[in-house]
Amino acid sequence: MIAVGQKIREMRQSKRLTQEEIENRTGIKREYLSKIETCGLPNITIKTLKKITDALGIPISKFFRESSN
């Protein structure tokens, strides 16, 4: 199972977006996003996760789907 932060990072990188671009789109500080991606921060709120997935242009439901690999 992939950790929350790792999955966010993978999705962000696959969209070729920087943490700064996500900050600009969401208002979530780059430093906080970095902590989410590196530490996982298991207490991330659904509201914060929704902001991030919206910025990535993906539905939040996709975030929870397992890959078909």
Q: Are 20 and 48 in contact (CB under 8 A)?
A: no
27/30 Cα distance (integer angstroms):
9
Is 29 a member of any domain?
yes
pLDDT at residue number 65: 63
Q: Residue 37: which CATH number?
A: 1.10.260.40
Is 37 a member of any domain?
yes
The residue range of the domain holding 29 is 4-60
Apex 14 CA angle, 9 and 20, nearest 5 = 55
Is 18 a member of any domain?
yes
Q: Are 42 and 4 in contact (CB under 8 A)?
A: yes
pLDDT in tens, 14-66: 999 999 999 999 999 999 999 999 887 667 888 999 999 999 998 988 766 66
Q: How many domains does the chain have?
A: 1
Is 69 a member of any domain?
no
**Count of CB atoms situated within 10 Å of the CB of 32:** 15
Task: Name which residue leads in pLDDT, 27 or 3.
Answer: 27
